[in-house]
Structure 1
Amino acid sequence: MKEELFIQVPKQLSRREFLKVAGATGLGAFLVACGANPTATSEAVERTMAIQPWPGSYEDIFKKYVYEPFTAKTGVKITSTPQAEWYNLAKIKQEVDSGNPTLDISVQLPGDVVRGGKDGLFEEINVASVPMTADLFDQAKALLPWGLGYLVYSYGIGYRPGTGDYSSWWDIWDPKYAGRLSLGKTETTYVVQTINRLITGKMSPVDTDAVFAKLDELKPNIKKMFESDADLRNMYNAEEIDAFVFFNGRVAVQQDDGIDVLFSSPSEGAFAAFDFLCITKNSKNKDIAQEFINFSLEPEQQVNIGKYMHYGPTNKTVTFDDPKYCAVMPCGGAMDSLWFEDAEYVSENQDAWIERWNEWLAG
């Protein structure tokens, strides 16, 4: 990049005067005297940061409305991990133990933020370097210093128009829908906690035996477990299924893509959670990682995440220019009625749930 782009020259200096002063003092010293930082931008242009979002439409939208604007603003290049590569805690631990992690930021679920933080896998976020923290909902700040929530989503029922109204969670157990339902194969914590809330009235503690007894009752209605967004779309478009349990934003993006599908947030209530941004321990890019997190929490990016990813903002100052957006995602005061998990409890119990879940899938 040409050096002229970094020069902040007072208007009263002519070009000849500028060259004279700059030559006498040295360009770097002159720029500092003028209030410019001669190295910050050039260093940023040369720096690259690696981030892991969830795959599929999530990653595509995140790239367009967060990565690319951040690069345009700072010059920092961002690489995204391959869609098939999921940076679970075991993978992050390998990176941390290597002493030279290649991943700077990962998207984490609440329970994994707690586990990873306690295991020393995440850097502590300095809120002084992330001033947008002050504008966040309390739930989005609850897992500091290890992560900050940058979007909120809810769990509900996607369904084919004309096949039912699915206004209640219990509708998916109706025998008339035998063989027409799909659940996510890897969505253990969501399914377990949703069913527990329905049968006990609480998110925790989880009555594991009662939950899996209800899953046994649901099994005749399940055609197949979907393994990805693409897998689900294929099944739905082929009319193998009529209903599925999934996240509000994924269903809304399907609608944006022209798929004839509706979304129900059932009358009993809906499980909701935040996605957190965490910085890998020993990341060499902690400074720009914190800058990126702050950028993600600014109103413009929060609005775009809401409009195009259809997940709710965690910045409570954000408003939308059309009420239709809050009609399909958690927004503002609507979050008071959602079911949020106890991340500490989940971190201590999810391994046992997953083991039981895998046994149930194999049974």
Structure 2
Amino acid sequence: MKNLMAVIAAGVSLFAMNAAQAEEKVLTVGGYGGSFETLMKELIIPEFEAKHDVKIQFVAGNSTENLARLQAQKGNQELDVVILDDGPMYQADALGFCAPMKASPIMDDVYDIAKLGPNSVGFGFVATGFTYNTKYFEDKGWAPPSSWMDLADEKYSQILSIPPISNTYGLHALVMMARLNGGSEKDIDPGFDVMADQVAPNILVFEPSSGKMSELFQSGEIALSIWGSGRTKSLADTGFSAKFAYPKEGAVALMLGACPVIQSNVPDEAAEFINYLLDPEIQVRLADAMGSGPVNRNAVLSDELAEALPYGPEQIEKLVAVDWDVINPAREEWTKRWSREIER
């Protein structure tokens, strides 16, 4: 009887241990902090956890921080999925931190421009263009800005803000100045020349913080900025008279990207989480909560959201893609040059 009880006890113990191990399956996701982290924890993660019987641990950090995390943990990765802006995502993929993505039917519904690299994908579009105070412009009798070269218009002197080149919005502005003045990513000199001589004198402050940029608008210190469509929506949602304007030469695509990280012990769940972010219903949820345009063609937005965000084949085709393969190796030198020549 004692032997039987011992066997039963051992069986119960083994069952409990196996059950505990099953319950302990954890998917670690690295992504942006702040409002994005709140959105994920409130609107995205709980449903995925329930459907896939997995616990998600969210590690907050901006793109630079999470790319550095991947580099610091080479050979012993903490993250199973990483979420980065498209520029750092190209770097992560090129450096071999992204695991091969599993074939999935949902990828057939994703716009080609959102297929970032061999092992990474964009799950939300943000357009870089003009954010402007509609009331201020109406009071002045001004039409909305319509060209990247409007940044050089003296009427915007000291009511304009552009983020520095360390911020993707500022980098996009530099590239477009180069492209429109005879240069390109491979010949950035014209961009620096125009920024230094014609645009910088109009700029009140090179503001990198989205929170402070919002404050500058709300305090009336600025009436125009180079910013993202999602940020503009968030500002407008507070009741402020902000609107996004697409430059006629094209707004620049800034994508929120995701990839499965190498050496994950939950690769299936990592792949499923990325597919989940691409699901049409989740795409609409992301659009409504954080202002990212859907990358899935089958996502259907309300008229109000469709007007505010990059949405639909016609709008997506107009977005401009920058050459990150050229930019990333040069960005450190460009950043030093920006400090010397633009923010001097």
TM-score range, shorter chain: 0.7 to 0.9
Distance 2:319 2:63 in 1: 30
Alignment of 1:61-76 (within 5 A): 61-76=39-54
Match of 2:72 in 1: 94
TM-aligned CA distance change 1:208 to 1:342, over 3 Å? closer
Residue 43 of structure 1 and its aligned partner are, at CA, apart by 5.5
Query: What is aligned with 1:273?
Result: 254
* CA-atom RMSD in angstroms: 2.7
Q: 343-352 or 330-339, which moves further after superposition?
A: 343-352
Question: Could you tell me which residue of structure 2 aligns to residue 347 of structure 1?
Answer: 328
Structure 1's 298 and 266: CA in aligned 2 closer, same or farther, altered over 3 A? Answer: same
1:208 aligns to what?
A: 188
| Count of aligned pairs | 319
* SS of equivalent to 2:145: coil
SS in structure 1 of the partner of residue 227 of structure 2: strand
Q: How does 1:66-145 map onto structure 2 within 5 Å?
A: 66-82=44-60, 86-96=64-74, 99-127=75-103, 130-144=104-118
Within the alignment, does 1:338 sit opposite 2:311 as a pair?
A: no
CA drift of 1:297 comes to 0.8
Partner of 1:298: 279
Give the secondary structure class of the aligned counterpart of 2:298: coil
Question: Partner residue of 1:34?
Answer: none
Paired residues of 2:250 and 2:318 also in contact (CA < 8 A): yes
Q: For residue 48 of structure 2, what is the amino acid of its counterpart?
A: F
User: Structure 2 counterpart of 1:207, which letter?
Assistant: D
Q: Percent identity?
A: 27
Instruction: Report deviation, 1:90.
Output: 3.1
Q: Does 1:324 align with 2:304?
A: yes
Render the CA deviation track for 1:276-329: whole Å, top value 9, x for unaligned.
Answer: 102232233322111100111111101111222221111122222x22222111
Divergent runs of 4+, >6 A: none
SS at match of 1:275: strand
Pairing partner for 1:57 from 35, 50, 71: 35
Corresponding residue number in structure 2 for 1:12: none
Comparing 302-311 with 183-192, greater Cα deviation is found at: 183-192
Contact 2:258 2:274 in 1 (8 A): yes
Give structure 1 stretches of 5+ with no counterpart. 1-25, 28-38
Partner of 1:189: 171
For 1:217-236, list aligned pairs within 5 A.
217-236=198-217
The 3 A distance-change label for structure 1 pair 359 and 71 is farther
| TM-fit CA distance, 1:93 | 0.7
CA offsets per residue over residues 240-278 of structure 1, 9 Å max, x none? 211111110111011112222122112232111322102
**Among candidates 126, 132, 141, match of residue 159 of structure 1:** 132
Q: Is the 8 A contact 1:52 1:80 kept in 2?
A: yes
1:48 is aligned, of 5, 10, 26, to: 26
Specify the code of the residue in structure 2 equivalent to 1:171. D
CA distance 1:251–1:59, shift in 2 (3 Å): farther
How far is the alpha carbon of 1:182 from its aligned partner? 1.1
Corresponding residue number in structure 2 for 1:252 = 233
Structure 1 residues 114 and 104 mapped into 2: Cα distance closer, same or farther (>3 Å)?
A: same
Give the conservation status (yes or no) of the 8 Å contact 1:51–1:106. yes
Matched-pair contact (CA < 8 Å) for 1:177–1:221: yes
Please state whether the residue corresponding to 1:223 is helix, strand or coil.
strand
TM superposition shift of 1:42:
7.0
Distance 1:342 1:85 in 2: 18
CA distance in structure 2 between the partners assigned to 1:353 and 1:137 by the alignment: 31
Superposition deviation, residue 340 in structure 1: 1.2
8 Å CA contact 1:67, 1:78 repeated in 2 = yes
CA distance in 2, matches of 1:282, 1:361: 42
